[in-house]
Amino acid sequence: MAKQLGFTKVTTATTGNHGSSAAAYAAAADMQAAIFYHTESPDVQKNVGLAYGASVISGYTSGGL
């Protein structure tokens, strides 16, 4: 849907599987992805995002994610 609307990039904040899925779908649609993970998210989740070519950003949030 995002690509059909003319977007070229997607982003999301996640603690795991949602980010992996977003990265995979972005790659399948030939789009860029930036995935924000909580610092305490498992490295395996971050590595999946990287494997799909997403930019992976790790840090704390003020909202307690």
56 pairs with which residues across the strands? 35
- Ranking 11-15, 23-27, 61-65 by mean pLDDT, the lowest is 61-65
Q: Confidence class of residue 61 from pLDDT cuts 50, 70 and 90? A: low
pLDDT digit string, tens, across residues 17-55: 999 999 999 999 999 999 999 888 899 999 999 999 999
User: Could you give the dihedral angle defined by the CA atoms of residues 36, 42, 44 and 47, in that order, rounded to the nearest 10 degrees?
Assistant: 30
Under 8 Å between Cβ of 35 and 57: yes
Single pTM value for the model: 0.84
| Domains of the chain and CATH, by start | 9-59 (3.40.50.1100)
